[in-house]
Amino acid sequence: MKLSYLLTTLSVLVAGSSGASASPTEKRQAGCTGTPVPLYRAWSNDLGNFDHFYTRSLGEIINAEPGYTQEPDCCRLFADNQTSSTVPFYRLWSGDAADHFYTTSEAQRTYALSIGYVDEGVTGWVYPAALCGTVPLYRLYVDTGNGPTKKDHFYTIDAAERDYAVSQYGYTFEGIEAYVFPA
């Protein structure tokens, strides 16, 4: 009787199945919603002050302090919280160091505030892990030791650009900050 019941159950399951199941990509993409927006990038080396600046606002890039030059877009991220899977990408500024700092870490944000950075809000929302076709956003840092204005945090999705900044400009690779969409 038990064998008969088992065979009947298996027959029903097989007959009720369409035979097609979602691939891992289809399952992953099913929870991916929202439309990412560009994260613009600008660079300043005005009077020796190194600073990379990132924003979702093209107007903010255009009206940035004199000395900033727009570069190719960094990547794409969400303008607001899309799902429970995304986290805030905080923007902070240190006038003393002439440095913009971006992080997903609340602890790093709190520490930066304690050493004089000013909170400039949430730049956007990003994934903390590779989901929905995202790529790593690499974080780099340079401190030339020539005073407080010779510091810069630099973010890129391009591994070759990351490696070049390390080998040619003395940046230190600090790790993957988040996962974002290609530009």
Please report whether residue 163 resides in a domain.
yes
How many domains is the chain built from? 1
Nearest to 55 by CA among 96, 11, 102: 102
Q: Are 127 and 179 in contact (CB under 8 A)?
A: yes
- pLDDT of 84 reads 84
Please report whether residue 97 resides in a domain.
yes
Give me the helices (H) in the chain, please. 2-16, 24-30, 58-62, 106-114, 159-169
Q: Which domain holds residue 147?
A: 36-180
Over 80: is that where the pLDDT of 28 sits?
Answer: no
Q: Which of 4-18, 21-35, 168-182 has the highest mean pLDDT?
A: 168-182
9-18, 84-93, 149-158: lowest mean pLDDT where?
Answer: 9-18
Please report whether residue 23 resides in a domain.
no
Please report whether residue 152 resides in a domain.
yes
Label residue 37 by pLDDT band (50, 70, 90).
very high
Please report whether residue 20 resides in a domain.
no
Render pLDDT for 90-140 as a digit per residue (tens, 0 to 9). Answer: 999 998 888 999 999 999 999 999 999 999 999 999 999 999 999 999 999
Please report whether residue 2 resides in a domain.
no
| DSSP for residue 170 | -
Q: Which two tokens stand for residue 100?
A: 């913009």
